[in-house]
Structures are given as structure tokens and as C-alpha cells.
Chain A
Amino acid sequence: MTVEPLRLTVNGRPALVPDVPGNERLLDTLRWRLGMKGTKEGCRTGDCGACTVLVDGESTLSCLTLAREVEGSSVTTVEVGDEDEVVARVRAAFSAAGALQCGYCTPGFVMAVAGLLRERGTSARREEILEALGGNLCRCTGYVAIVRAVDALRAEPK
């Protein structure tokens, strides 16, 4: 049986991906078919958040999402250029705060924060942000600097 190529927009560019079977995870399509290794595989069970990307602007676990389920959607990964102003700001804030240790969880954190900023804007309360990051684990336990980076992105008094 021949299958239609998978049609996506990835980081603002249209992509037609051939031969994507129905049971392939979005994470594998990104990493192995499109060669975009910025998105990480951690637990592969939805516990760690390392694979978080944005699908039509919403944070999404790419390890628990079938690629075919997001056919026609716009997928944003940590590799997106600075024309994505929200992601660019989050990356800059993480960089300025030194919010990484080994760096493996960082793409997931960056995309989770970017998703929340898109959804709630810079007026999001600190508790909301901490709650929204509850799905992301840093096994180096470098959370203090991550929270500092997030605080720097908020419009309210810190």
C-alpha cells in the first residue's frame, strides 16, 4: 500500500516527508527523517518533557504523539530561527541565566516555556509557570537557574 507523504510545516518551512508509517512518533520523524536532533528523547513515556515541541503553538510531547496525527500542522522545535520571537527570547533568557548544566533537558524546557508565553503572555504568574514546568525534569537538578530565566521573561515585578 502506498501512503501519501506527510505534510507538515516545520519551523516555518513546508515539509513533505515520504514513507511515514501510521505508527511513527513525531519525535522519530523530526530526529531521524528530518535530521533535527535538537528535540531529545528522554524517558519516552511522557514523564520527563525532554521531547517537548510546539504543535500549532501548543506545547506537545513528541514521544507520545503520532506524526500522522499532526498532519497539516505547524511544528516548532528548539532549532527555529530568531524570526520566532518568543522562542528566541526564551533561548536568550536561558543563556543569560546560565540555565543549563548538561543541557539534555534544555530544549524541552525552552519549548515548554515558549508554549506558556504564547498562551498566557508575559503576565503569567510565577506559580502558573512553575506548574506548567511540572512536566519537565532536569536530572542535573539545575532548577534554580531555570526559574531565574523564567522570572526574567515575566513582565510583572519579580
Chain B
Amino acid sequence: MALLRTAGPSEAAVIAGGTDLLLDVADGRLAPSRVISLRRLPWRTLDWNGTQLTVGSTLPLRALEQDPELPRRLPGLYQAVRAVGGVALRHRATLGGNLVRSAPASDLVPVLLSLDAEVDLIGPGGVRRLPVDRFVRASRKVDLAPGELVRSVRFPEARPSAYLWQRVRPANDISQVAVALAFSPAEHAWRVAVGGVSPRPALLPEAAHALGSGSPSAESVARAARRAGEQAGFVTDRRASVEYRRHLVGTLLTRAVAGILSQGELPP
């Protein structure tokens, strides 16, 4: 722990699954003299407390997607986890690692935002809890103090939800645009989050507001789709143009609403 607290990134790297970290090591962007493994920590856990879910940060994504309750209670999370890499990658990749590494095109950050997930952190200064929206600062930047680790991620309630993406190749590729949509039964409110935006996945409160407080009309969906295209911080990069992304986000949002309405009754 002393090493964790004092070492800079070039001296010591913390490794969970390592599926993203090793890309930096292989390319020489990172040459840590020490690797600190989290594999012996007892954090490979998954606990339902009613419909509240707590996922240990080092649980492999493959174990998360195989939880029998997940597809019914948090379908958006189930879909997003299965969008990450291939099966062999998900046998090692972890939720905590994905969050801390905070890649701009992460398939998990948008869905965590839409589900109001919170991270539990533990470090030399004690424990604290932060909403994912505050924990993830920017591309590859998170609010983590020296020596601090993500212990678990907490999902407050079951939500009708969906995660849809667009890619060049459907399998094992990076999403150009992604939409995470969820409806909170407790708050009677929608959450819309998008990926493929700069500098990091973000919530779109205006688009969510346009969907109303329950089952939306076709006009509301169209308005939300327009708002999402206007509001999202899309840019042109090597994966897609800003125009393509603006067009696509509305299409994905419209499909996500249809997907959620097919999961069961919402209030009117």
C-alpha cells in the first residue's frame, strides 16, 4: 500500500484485468517498473440487495453478464457488458478497470451514467462514494487520489434500460456512437447517455426531459431524438464524422425507446 501511495504511473501500475493497460505497455506508452496486481483482493463479488446491485470492481465482465437476474433487472447493463470485446477478453476485463481506465469510447461508462451508478472508493484517506458522473472527469482522467482504488460499483435500482451502438464491425470493435437509455421507476424520469462524444461519455438531460415522465408519445420521442443530435458533444475523428454521429444518435435513441417499451409496461 505504501508503494501505491507514493509511486507515479511510470513506477507502478495497478492492474485488474489488464486488457486495456497492457495495450499501453505493449506500445511502450507505459513502462512501469512495478506492477501491482489486484487479483488477490476479495472483490470478485456480485450482490443483489433487493433490486439494488453491487458489483465488486475486479469481477470479470463475463461473470457479470452471466448473472441470471441481470438481463431482466438491468437489461441496459447486460447489453453493454456484452458489447465489450469478445468472450476471451471479458473473461479478464473488469468493471473497475474499465471505469478507472476511462477510455473515451468505453461501452460501459454511458450505461453506468444512465443507471445513476456510484463508485465506492477506498484509500489511505478512508472510503468515499461518488456518482460515476463525477468520478469520470475526462478521457482517461478520473477522480482517484494517490493510493486510492475502486472497490465496487453500486446500482441503486432495477431499471428498464437499453444500450445500442453503431460500429464498423459488429463484433469486437469500438462504437462510433452509443446510446444508453434508462427509465427510473422511483423518479418517474428518463436518463439518456451517449458514447462516441468528446471528451467523455455524457448524460443528455434535455433529451431525457423531452421523453416526459413515462411512456412517451411518438412526438416526444422525435423531439428527444432531435435534442440528442443537437446537444451531444460529437466531434469528427478517425472513426466517424460529426454529421454521421448527429444523425445516428437520434436513430439509436428511437430504437432504444422501442426496446424499453417492449420490456414491459411503463406509467403513461
Contacts and interface: CB of A to CB of B under 8 A. Distances in A.
Interface of A: 22-23, 25, 44-47, 49, 52, 55, 58-61, 63-66, 68-69, 112, 115-116, 131-136
Nearest to B22: A64
Nearest to B36: A22
B37 A112 contact: no
12 contacts: A22-B34, A22-B35, A52-B88, A55-B91, A58-B88, A58-B91, A63-B22, A65-B18, A66-B35, A115-B87, A131-B82, A135-B89
B89 A46 contact: yes
A112 B170 contact: no
Interface in B14-34: 15, 18-19, 22-23, 25-26, 31-32, 34
Nearest to B90: A135
B214 interface: no
Nearest to A128: B87
B85 A135 contact: yes
Given A47-B172, A64-B89, A135-B86, 5 more contacts: A44-B26, A46-B23, A63-B22, A66-B15, A115-B88
Contacts of B87: 59, 112, 115-116, 131-132, 134-135
B23 A45 contact: yes
A136 B23 CA distance: 18
A7 to B, nearest CB: 15
Contacts, number: 81
B134 interface: no
* Residue among A23, A52, A59, A131 having the largest count of chain B Cβ atoms under 10 Å: A23
B45 to A, nearest CB: 18
Contacts of A69: 15, 18, 37, 39
B172 A135 contact: yes
A52 B86 CA distance: 11
Interface of B: 15, 18-19, 22-23, 25-26, 31-32, 34-35, 37, 39, 62, 82, 85-89, 91-92, 170-172
A134 B171 contact: yes
Nearest to A57: B91
A46 B19 contact: yes
Given A45-B26, A115-B87, A135-B89, A61 B19 contact: yes
Nearest to B60: A58
B35 A60 contact: no
A116 B34 CA distance: 34
A59 B26 contact: no
Nearest to A132: B87
Contacts of B91: 55, 58-60
Pick the 4 closest A-B CB pairs, nearest first: A135-B86, A134-B171, A59-B88, A58-B91
Contacts of A135: 85-89, 171-172
Nearest to B87: A132
B170 A134 contact: yes
B88 A23 contact: no
Contacts of B170: 134
B22 A25 contact: yes
A64 B19 contact: yes
A90 to B, nearest CB: 15
Contacts of B22: 25, 63-66
A52 B89 CA distance: 9
Among the interface residues B15, B22, B82, which one has the most CB atoms of the partner chain A within 10 A? B22
Contacts of B34: 22
Nearest to B39: A69
A58 B32 CA distance: 28
A133 B171 CA distance: 9
Contact of B88 (A44, A45, A61, A131): A61
Contacts of B85: 46, 135
Contacts of A134: 86-87, 170-172
